[in-house]
Amino acid sequence: MADETNSPRAPSTGIEVSDMQDYLAIDGDEDVLKSLIEYAEEDARGSIDSSIDIEVYRKLPIFNQAVRTLVDFNYYNRGALSGQQIAYPKSYQYMLNKIRWKVGKING
């Protein structure tokens, strides 16, 4: 049985605003969520390998979960980040490490 968190799947468009609204159980805030999704994707991509097309990452369920995790963290900590002792959730950092390994395996 394949490990779902690391297996490429059918092409995905990544995380959409409606996905995040469902994930966070909220209505509205479309512009805020769109911005946070874009930031989270670029942050994760830049932390792994920004030379790889975003579509490669979006095919990985673990990448999409990392985006959800960072959006969740940033959404609920808006305005309070200056008082945070950690810049990122540990689970996000863990997922980035798994993605680094997986993307290296796919491309190399």
pLDDT of 15-51, one tens digit each?
Answer: 999 999 999 999 999 999 999 999 999 999 999 999 9
What is the percent of the chain with per-residue pLDDT over 70, rounded to a whole number? 77
Q: How many domains does the chain have?
A: 1
Tell me whether residue 36 is in a domain. Answer: yes
Tell me whether residue 25 is in a domain. Answer: yes
Instruction: Read off the pTM.
Output: 0.80
Displacement of CA 85 from its chain's centroid (Å): 21
In the chain, which ranges are continuous DSSP H helix?
17-24, 30-48, 54-58, 61-76, 90-107
pLDDT band at residue 4 under the 50/70/90 scheme: very low
Q: What is the mean pLDDT of residues 89-107?
A: 84
Task: Tell me the residue range of the domain where 27 lies.
Answer: 17-78+85-105
Tell me whether residue 100 is in a domain. Answer: yes
More confident residue, 4 or 84: 84
Tell me whether residue 89 is in a domain. Answer: yes
CB of 3 closer than 8 Å to CB of 60:
no
